[in-house]
Structure 1
Amino acid sequence: MKMPKRNPPDANRFRSDAPASAPSRVPSAASLLFFWPFHLLNLLTWPLGLPLKLFARVVGYPVVAGLYGAGFLAVVYGLRSQGYDLSKVHAMPERSIILDRQGEEIGRIHGEKRSLVPLDQVSENFRKAILAREDERFYKHGAFDTIGIGRALLKNIQGKKEGASTITQQLASDIFQLKAGEKRGQTLRQIDRKLLEIALAVRLESAMEKDAILGAYINQINWGRQIKGIGEASRIYFEKHPAELTLSESALLAGIVRGPDAFNPFRSIDAAINERNTTLGRMVTAGAITQAEADKAKLEPIEVRPKGRRETHESYALEQIRRELEIILEDENIELGGLTITSTIDLRIQRKGEEALDKKLREVERYSGYQHQTRTAWKALPDGKREEPEYIQGAAAVVENRTGAVLAVVGGRDADESHFNRATQASRQIGSLFKPFVYLAAFDRGLRPNTSISDGPLQPGEIKGAGNWRPHNSDGKFGGMLPISTGLVRSRNTMSVRVGNYAGIDRVQEVARMAGFATPMPDSPVSFLGSWEATPWEVASAYTIFPNDGIRYRPYLISEIKDRDGNILYPGKDEKGHPISPQLSYPAAKAGSAWSISRILNEVATHGTAASISRLGFDKPCGGKTGTTNDFKDAWFTGYTSTLTCCVWVGFDTPKKTIQGGYGSALSLPIWVDIMKTADRLGYKAGKLNSRVNLVNMELCHLSSKRATAGCREAHTNYTDQVPADIALPDNDLCPIHPARAQPVDESAVSVPAAMPVPEAQPLKAIPVEEDQDIPLRAIPVE
C-alpha cells in the first residue's frame, strides 16, 4: 500500500546554528507601546539557545520591571520635589551681628546660630577634611553615588552600618527638614524620604555648581549646641575665623559632624580627638594629605574656647537694641537675619558703667546700716531656690548731647541674674531732678536767676490747687527773700513750689513734655517737687537740653543696618539719594532759659548738693542735679559735660528705704563720676560749657524781674544783668512794684563791659548744704 506523501521535517529546526525566524505572533500596538522593553528583550534573546534564552529572560524581566518601577518612581518623586523651593538653599537664617560704635561685637541676635561664610573664605584644610569624611567622590559623581550605594549595601550586609548619602542629598535633607518626625523602625517612611531626597538632590545638581552646593552644605551643617555652619562652629569652638583653621582643628570639626552631641569637644575632648584622628586617616586614604602631615596634626594640642567664655551672657544694651530693631525692621528681615547692625553703644563705657554700678553697690551692702539681701547672699542660694533677686539695684543711661546717640544702657547689676531693664523700664519718682524744668518754665515767663523770692513757710491758699499743703525744706529750716538761683542750687522745696506756682502747672507740664518725659506730669503742685515717675533713660535725654541751649535730640541706639550683601537698609536715603541721618532734633525750650538753668546747675556741681564731684576726682566743667525721694527710697544724680549727659539711679525694685542718709550725692553721684572720668579719658572730652546764646545788657528789678525804673533805683532793688536776647524784655515792660516816678533807666549810661560775665549766684551761708527729699503724696489734699 502506497503511503501518502508528507513534507519532510524542517531539519533546520533542530540545528543550533540554523537562522531563527521571527516569532509568528505579532504583538498589538498597545502592547508595543506600553511593554516595548519586554518585547525588545524577547526579540534580542530569541536567537539564543533555550537554556541561555531562559536564563536571560529570568534575569532580564525583573531588570526591565525594575526599570519600569524606577521610571515610575522618578516621575512621582520628581513631581513631588517640584513642590520644594530651591531658593531656601540661599536663604539660610543666620544670626545678625550687633557692633558697637568702635566696631567691637556686642552680640548676635535673631535667625539661627549661624554666620554664613563663602567657600573661598574657608580653610582648604577643612574643605579636604569634610570631603574625606562625608563624600570623598563628591566632585566625581552626580546627585547620588551608585558606587557609594553599592559599598554601603555590602557593609550593611556584613553588619557594619554605613550610609551612602552624598553631600547634595544631605543638604537637601537638612534644608527641607526631611527627617522631621521620623522614628527608628519606620522603614517605609525612611525609604520614602530617601527617594524624595534623591529627587531633590537631582534638582540641586542641575541648578547649582558643585562649589555652590559644597558652600551651602558647610554653612548648613549642625555642630551641636544649636550651632549651624562652619562660621559659628569655628567661632564658638576655637574663637577664630574658618579661614584660620589648622589641619588638626579642621579634622576635628569634620569628625564630629556625624555625632555633634556625642563628640562635642566641650562635652568630651577625648571623643573629639578620636574623631579627629579617624578623619585624618581618611584624608590620607583619599590622598588629600600625606601620612607625615596626618601624624604631625595628631600631635597638635587642641585648644578650644575656655569654659569661662562658653556661656552666652545676657546684655541690657543688646536687649534694648533688639527692641529698637523690632520697630525699625520688617519681620522678614528679622527672621532671615544676616544683618550687620552698628549701634551707638560704646562698649568701653557700657562696661565701665556696669562695673562702677556693681562696685558702689557692693560697698553699700557692706555698710553697717544696710539691712537687706546682698548680691553675694543671693548668689549663694541653690539654683532651685533662687527667685528674682531682691538685692539693691541701680541703672544708668549715657547720652551724647549733640546727637542723641546712647553710649550706654546699664539696666541693673547683672542681666543674667535679672532681665528687667531698669534704665528703660523702671519708672520711679524722680524727686528734685525735676526742679530744673520747673525753673525753666518760670524763666520762659520772665523770671531771672537773680530775682528774689521767699524761702519762708508756705501759707494756706498761697499755691494754686494745693489747698493746705505746706511742704518743708529737707533741713527743716526756712530763709528770707533769696535769689531764685539759690532755690535750685540748694534745692529749696518752698522756693521751688513758689517758682512752679508762678510758671503755672500748664506751662510746667508743657516743658516736661517737650523735654521728652513720656509720662504726662500729674495736674498737681506736688509734681513741682518730682513726686511722679520717669525712667533714667527719659531723665538723661531730658537733661541734654541744658548743655544744648534748649535743643533736644531724640535718643537712639542704632546708627546703621546692612544686609548680608552690604546694602544699607537703615537709615536709608532721601529722594535725592542722600543718606538720612537718625539724628532728629527740635527746640524743646527757649535757648536763653536753658542756658540760664545750665549756669545754675553748674553751680550745683561746684557749691551745691553735688559739690563732692571734685572731691571724688572729676574736676572738669559740668552741671547736674541730685535727687532723693521720701525715706531714701530712690537716689538719683543726673549731670552733664559739654559732650555727654549721664543719669544714675539707685534703689530697690520694690521701693523701700536703701540706707539712712542714702542721698543721691552719696549713692548715685560716685557712680556718675566713675563713668564720666572714663568717658573723658576715652575722648569724650568735657570742655567748657560754651553757649551760642546772644546776651544783651539790661537793668532789672530783683523783686519783679521787670525792667528797672527810677523807683527801683530808689528802693535799691535794681541790678544790671546780661540777659539772653530771646527772653529779653521789651522796653515798656517796667517794674509794677515800684511805679513811683517810674521812668525807664537810661541803660546807655550804665557802664557794663560787653564781655562782662553774668554775675554768679553766691552760696547762701545761712543755709547748710543738705540733700533734698520730697514730700509724701499723702500730704496733698485731694481737690
Structure 2
Amino acid sequence: MPKSSPKDPGSPTGKFSDQRSSNRKKSDVPRKSTGLGTVILFWPFLIFHGLISPLPKFVRIPLRLLGDPAIAGLYAALLLGGFYFIRAQPFDMAKVAEMPERTVIYDRRGEELGRIHGEKRDVIRVEDVSQDFIFAILAREDKRFYTHHGVDWIGVGRAMVQNFKRGGVAQGASTLTMQLARNSFALKSKWLDFSPKLQELDRKLLETAVSYRIESHYEKEEVLQHYVNRIFWGHQIRGIEEASRTYFEKHAKELTLSESALLAGIVRGPNAFSPFNDMEKAVRERDSVLDRMVLEGFIPQDQADTAKKDPITIRPEWRRIFHDSYAMDAIRRELERILEEENIELGGLQITTTIDSLIQKKAEEALDAKLRQIERTPGYPHQTRAAWNELPADKKSRPQYLQGSVVAIENLTGAVLAIVGGRNADESKFNRALQGRRQIGSVFKPFVYLAGFESGIRPNTLIDDGPLNIGGWRPKNSDGTFGGMLPASTGLIRSRNTMSVRIGSRAGIEKVSDTAISVGFETPIPKSPTSYLGAWEASTYEVASAYTVFPNSGVRYAPRIIKEIRDRNGNVVWPEKGDSPYISYQAVNPGSAWSVSNILKEVTTRGTAASVKSLGFNKPCGGKTGTTNDYKDAWFAGYTSSITCAVWVGLDTPKKTIDRGYGSTLALPVWVEVMKTADKLGYKAEGLKSQLSFVECRLCRTSGKRATAGCERAQEAYTDNVPVDNVPAENDLCPDHPAKAIPVDGVIEEEPTTGRPPKAQEIIDEGPIQEEMEPEVLKAIPVDEDEIR
C-alpha cells in the first residue's frame, strides 16, 4: 500500500502535520513585546490600564478619557516641578534675612540724631512684636501658616473654585512664605516681557519653588520674623517696627489689638488704606481683620467688639515730616569717606558721633535768634526769613535771607560738637559750615603773628604802625590814623593792618603760607601781601579747626565727627582694632602758639571782642573778630580751655549786611550763647594754662634778637621770659644795633626818616577798642619784600 503523502489532506497524519505546521509558523512570527524603557516611562499608564481592563468597555472608555489626561497632567507637573526646582537653586537663602535697614545715628550722649541710608526699616526679633499683631496677620493672610510647608494647597484649591464661580475674578492664595519669597528676590523673567500673563505664571511657579526652599532653610518662627520685618506699609515704611513708630509713635511690642488689626488690614493696599490718607478705609480694614480673627478662633467676639470701639490715635500731621539737619549732612559726608558703598546701601549700622545734641541745638537756636533780631531792626534792607516763609510754594526760590554758620570743636580730641550750616536745612541744603568759603579778614591775623613769632619776632618787639605803599596798594587802619613804633602784641589786640602787613613781610609769604596749611587751612593762600589781612577765602570748619592750636600749645587734632561704627550685630567695624580715632600732630611751635594765645586773651578783655563779658560770658577765653569790606562778612573765632568755636554771618551773595555789621555785633553774641551752654554742660572754661618752660633773656625791642651793647646804649634792650623753643641762639644777636650803636630800622618807611627809629609809643589802656573793617582789596598784588615802603 503506497505511503500517504504528508500533504495529503485525506490522511489523518497529514491533517495533524498541517496543524502542527500551522502552529509552528505562528510561533515563529516575533511577538511585539513592551520594552523596559517604556515600562519605566509609562508605568502609571500601564498600571492604570491594567487596573481597568477587567471592566466593561462602556466603563473603561470614560475612565480612560478622564484618567489619561490626569496622569499626563501629573507628568507635566513633575517636569515643571523639576524645572522650577532647578531654577530656584541659585537663590541665596541668606538674602532672606539680609534686609536694608536704616542706619541709626547717635550723639555722644546716646541720643538718636536721625536715620540715614538703607530703607526705612528697623529689623527686630519676632519676640519683640505684639502677639495681637501676630494673630491678626495670620488671620488675615495665612491661617494655616504653621501646618503648610510653604504653599497652602487647600487655599490654592479654594481660590481656584472661587475664581471659577466669580467668572475669572482673581482671588489670591499667597502664604506668608510666598510673600516673603516675592519680597526677598527678583522673580520676574525679563525674557517673558512679551507676554505679561505668561510672565506672571512663570513668576508664580518660581515663587512656589523658592517658598519650599525658604521653609526648608528656616524654622517657622524665623520665616515669620523675616516676613514682619520685610513687609511694606506705605509711605516708604518697611517692617512692623518702623510702621508702628511712624503710625502710632510706639514700639511694635506695645501695639494694642485695635492697632494690630489696623496694620494687618492695610497690608494688601498700604497706600490706599493708610490712616494718613484715608482713616475711614483704614478703620474698615481693621474691623474686617477683627472679624476674621474671631472666625479663625484667635480672639472671642466680645474682645473684637471692644477693639472696634477703640479710638485710633495716629501721629499728628505736623510730626510726620522728618527734618534734615546740617549735622546729619556732615555725618553723611564723613561716612561716605569711611564706608564702602555696599555698607552704605545695606544700612543697619549704629553710628556714634562726636556731636553733642544739646550744644548743637543751642547753636542752631542762637544763630537763628540773633539773625531774626537783626531782621527786625527798622529799615532792614534785605529779605527776611519770615517773608520768605510766607511766599506761596510756587513762588519760592533759593532763600536770600541772612545766613550764618557755626562750628564747635573739642580742643583735646578734635571732636566736632556742633556744626550748623545755615538757619534751616529743609529750606536750604547748602551747608555753609563746610561748603561756604568766605573772605576771613582779620580772623587770619593771629596766624600771621604766629608765623612772625616763629621767625624771631616777640610780642614786645616794636613794629612800625606808619603808612605803607606796596605797588600802589596803601593799606589803612580802621580809624584812618597811623602810629609810631608799637609792640607787636598791640598790633594784634588793636587789629592794626599796617603792623600786620609788616609782621607778615618779616616772616615772609612762604612762612605764612606754610603756617596756614599746617594749622588746617586746606587751600594755599595767595602769594600776595593782601593775604596777611585775610583777603582770601576759607570755610567756618577750617577756621574753627585752625584756632584749636592756640589753646593746645600748637598741637592740632584733625577734626572728626564719627566716633564709632558698629554693625547690626553690635561688632565695632570702625575704627579698626588698635587704631585710634584721635590724630594729632605738632602744627606750630608751642611757644609761638602760647604767645599768640596770650594776646588773643587780651582781645577778649580790652580788644575788639571785649563785649564778651557784657554779653554774659565771664570765663577765661581768647579769640578774634573779623569784618570784611563793606560789612559783607562778620566773623568771630574763639576758644576756652575746652572748646573752640567759629561763627560766620553774611548773605549768600556777598553784599553789605547792615551798617556797622561788625563781627562783634553779629557773630560774637552767637559764640557767647554756645559757650555758656557748653560751660553748663561740663565743658569747663578754666584758665588757659601751659606746661611750657621759660628762659629769662635780654632782648632787643626792635629786632627781637638777643640784645647787644648797642641795644643797651640805644635803650632798646629789655628782659623777657621767653618760651624755651623761642629763645634766640646765643649768637643770634641784634643786627640793628651793632657795637657802634648805629640803629638800623628793619622796615623802611614810606617817608624818609631821620635815621633813628621812631620812639616807642607809650601804651595806654584805652578800654575796649572799636572793631575795624578790612580795607577793600581790589586785586592780588605780587609779593616783593623790597617794595614794602
Give 3-state SS (helix, strand or coil) of 1:569's partner.
Answer: strand
Which position in structure 2 is the counterpart of 1:566?
A: 570
Amino acid at match of 2:156: I
Deviations 1:346-390 (A, max 9, x none): 111111111111111111112234211111111111111211111
- Give 1:173 deviation, angstroms: 1.1
In structure 2, the residue matched to 1:163 is 172
* TM-superposed deviation, 1:526: 0.5
Paired residues of 2:120 and 2:236 also in contact (CA < 8 A): yes
Taking the aligned partners of 1:614 and 1:667, their CA distance within structure 2 comes to: 16
Deviation of the 1:496 alpha carbon: 0.6
Report the AA paired with residue 390 of structure 2. A
Query: 1:582 aligns to what?
Result: 581
Tell me if structure 2 keeps the 8 A contact 1:111–1:338: yes
Amino acid at match of 1:162: Q
2:246 paired residue number: 236
User: Are the structure 2 counterparts of residues 451 and 94 from structure 1 closer, same or farther at C-alpha, using a change threshold of 3 Å?
Assistant: same
Which of 473, 496, 510 lines up with 1:492 in the alignment?
496
Q: 1:97 aligns with which of 104, 112, 126?
A: 104
Instruction: Point out the more displaced range, 407-416 or 74-83.
Output: 74-83
Q: Which residue of 2 aligns with 1:216?
A: 226
- Alignment correspondent of 2:749: none
Q: Determine if contact 1:469/1:779 at 8 Å carries over to the other structure.
A: no
Contact 1:451 1:483 in 2 (8 A): yes
Q: Is contact 2:406–2:647 with CA below 8 Å preserved after alignment?
A: yes
Deviations 1:418-453 (A, max 9, x none): 100000001110000000000001111111111111
Q: 1:407 to 1:90 in 2, by over 3 A?
A: same
The 1:180–1:189 alpha-carbon spacing in structure 2 relative to 1, beyond 3 Å, is closer
Give me the CA root mean square deviation. Answer: 2.2
Question: CA–CA distance in 2 between the matches of 1:85 and 1:346?
Answer: 42
Whether the aligned pair in 1 keeps the contact of 2:529 and 2:782 (CA below 8 Å) is: no
Q: Who is 2:524 aligned against?
A: 520
Residue in structure 2 matched with residue 677 of structure 1 by the alignment: 676
- Decide which moves more: 404-413 or 186-195: 186-195
Residue in 2 that maps onto 1:247: 257
CA distance in 1 between partners of 2:697 and 2:484 (Å): 26
Contact 1:630 1:775 in 2 (8 A): yes
1:770 is aligned to 770
- Taking the aligned partners of 2:425 and 2:609, their CA distance within structure 1 comes to 30
- Paired with 1:780 and 1:210, the residues of 2 have a C-alpha distance of 74
Instruction: Provide the secondary structure at the position in 2 that maps to 1:325.
Output: helix
Q: Do the aligned residues in 1 keep the contact of 2:189 with 2:199 (CA within 8 Å)? A: no
Contact (CA 8 Å) 1:222, 1:257: kept in 2 or not?
Answer: yes
Compute the displacement of 1:228 (Å): 1.1
Equivalent residues in 2 for 1:477-488, closer than 5 Å = 477-488=481-492
- Aligned partner of 1:426 in structure 2 is 436
Partner of 1:544: 548
Picking from 397, 403, 407, the partner of 2:413 is 403
Q: Distance in 1 between matches of 2:333 and 2:546?
A: 21
1:534 counterpart residue number: 538
1:36 maps onto 2:30 in alignment: no
CA 1:673–1:36: 2 relative to 1, 3 Å = same
* Displacement of 1:707: 2.6
Aligned partner of 1:662 in structure 2 is: 661
Q: Distance in 1 between matches of 2:288 and 2:395?
A: 45
Residue pair 1:486, 1:764 contacting (<8 A) in 2 also: no
CA distance in 2, matches of 1:775, 1:40: 107
* Cα distance change of structure 1 residues 361 and 136 upon mapping to structure 2, 3 Å threshold: same
Find the structure with the greater CA-based Rg.
2
Distance (whole Å) between structure 2 residues aligned to residue 349 and residue 302 of structure 1 = 37
Give, in whole Å, the separation in 2 of the partners of 1:715 and 1:180. 96
C-alpha distance 782-445 of structure 1, shift in aligned 2 (>3 A): closer
Provide the C-alpha distance between the structure 2 equivalents of 1:117 and 1:767, rounded to a whole number of angstroms: 64
Counterpart-to-counterpart distance in 1, 2:307 and 2:600 = 66
Distance 1:391 1:154, change over 3 A: same
| Aligned pairs for 1:312-323 within 5 A | 312-323=322-333
* Aligned-partner residue type, residue 487 of structure 2: P
Partner SS for 1:671: helix
- Give matches, 1:608-647, under 5 Å: 608-647=607-646
Question: How far apart, CA to CA, are the structure 2 residues paired with 1:248 and 1:719?
Answer: 86
Provide TM-score, normalisation by structure 2: 0.89
Equivalent runs, 1:235-634 vs 2, <5 Å = 235-458=245-468, 460=469, 466-574=470-578, 580-634=579-633
Q: Deviations over 1:93-148 (max 9, x none)?
A: 11111111111111111111112112222222221211111101100111211111
Q: Which amino acid aligns with 1:670?
A: P
Structure 2 spans left out of the alignment, 5+ residues: 1-30, 742-760, 784-789
Q: Alpha carbons of 1:781 and 1:599: their partners in 2 closer, same or farther (altered >3 Å)?
A: closer
Task: Name the CA shift for 1:180/1:600 in 2 (closer, same or farther; >3 Å).
Answer: farther
- Mapping of residues 128-167 of structure 1, within 5 Å: 128-159=135-166, 162-167=171-176
1:175 paired with 2:184, answer: yes
Sort the Cα spacing of 1:731 and 1:425 in 2 relative to 1 into closer, same or farther, 3 A: same
Shift in alpha-carbon separation, 1:266–1:597, aligned structure 2, 3 A: same
Once residues 205 and 781 of structure 1 are traced to their aligned partners in structure 2, the CA distance between those partners, rounded to angstroms, is 77
Q: 3-state DSSP class of the match of 1:547?
A: coil
| Counterpart Cα distance in 2 of 1:101 and 1:193 | 48
CA–CA distance in structure 2, aligned partners of residues 781 and 434 of structure 1 = 18
- 8 Å CA contact retained: 1:468, 1:781: no
Q: Which of 117, 140, 146 in structure 2 is aligned with 1:110?
A: 117
* Superposition deviation, residue 54 in structure 1: 3.3
Q: Which runs of no fewer than 5 residues in structure 1 stay unpaired?
A: 1-23, 461-465, 575-579, 743-760
**How big is the shift at 1:155?**
2.6
Q: Structure 1 residues 240, 361: CA separation in 2 closer, same or farther (over 3 Å shift)?
A: same
Q: How far is the alpha carbon of 1:709 from its aligned partner?
A: 4.0
Distance 1:184 1:308, change over 3 A: farther
CA displacement at 1:180 relative to structure 2: 9.2
Contact 1:592 1:724 in 2 (8 A): yes
3-state SS of 2:284 partner? helix
Range that drifts further, 693-702 or 391-400: 693-702
- Report how far residue 711 of structure 1 moved: 4.3
Distance 1:780 1:258, change over 3 A: closer
1:326, distance to aligned residue in structure 2 (A): 1.0
Matched position secondary structure for 2:39: helix
Match of 1:80 in 2: 87
1:190 aligns with 2:200: yes
Q: CA deviation at 1:767?
A: 9.4
Q: Report if the CA contact (8 A) 2:548-2:644 is conserved.
A: yes
Measured against aligned partners, the alpha-carbon deviations of 1:590-619 in whole angstroms (never above 9, x if no partner) come to 000000111100000111000110111111
Q: Confirm or deny: 8 A CA contact 1:404 1:553 kept in the other structure.
A: yes
Contact 2:139 2:296 in 1 (8 A): yes
Counterpart of 1:264 in structure 2: which amino acid?
A: S
Decide whether the 8 Å contact of 2:39 with 2:46 is kept in 1. yes
Is residue 447–residue 512 contact of structure 2 (8 Å, CA) maintained in 1?
yes
Q: Give aligned-pair identity as a percent.
A: 58
| 1:79 positional shift | 1.9
Counterpart in 2 of 1:5? none
User: Paired residues, what number?
Assistant: 731
Separation in 2, partners of 1:419, 1:428:
18
Give the Cα–Cα distance (whole angstroms) in 2 for the partners of residues 265 and 183 of structure 1.
Answer: 36
Q: Which moved more, 1:282-291 or 1:625-634?
A: 282-291
SS at match of 2:374: helix
Deviation at 1:57, TM superposition (A): 2.4
In the superposition, relative to structure 1, how do residues 229 and 161 fare at CA in structure 2: closer, same or farther (>3 Å)? same
CA contact (8 A) 1:173 1:179 kept: no
Q: 1:710 deviation in Å?
A: 4.6
Cα distance in 1 for residues equivalent to 2:97 and 2:768: 71
1:149, 1:382 → 2: CA distance? Answer: 54
Report the AA paired with residue 340 of structure 2: E
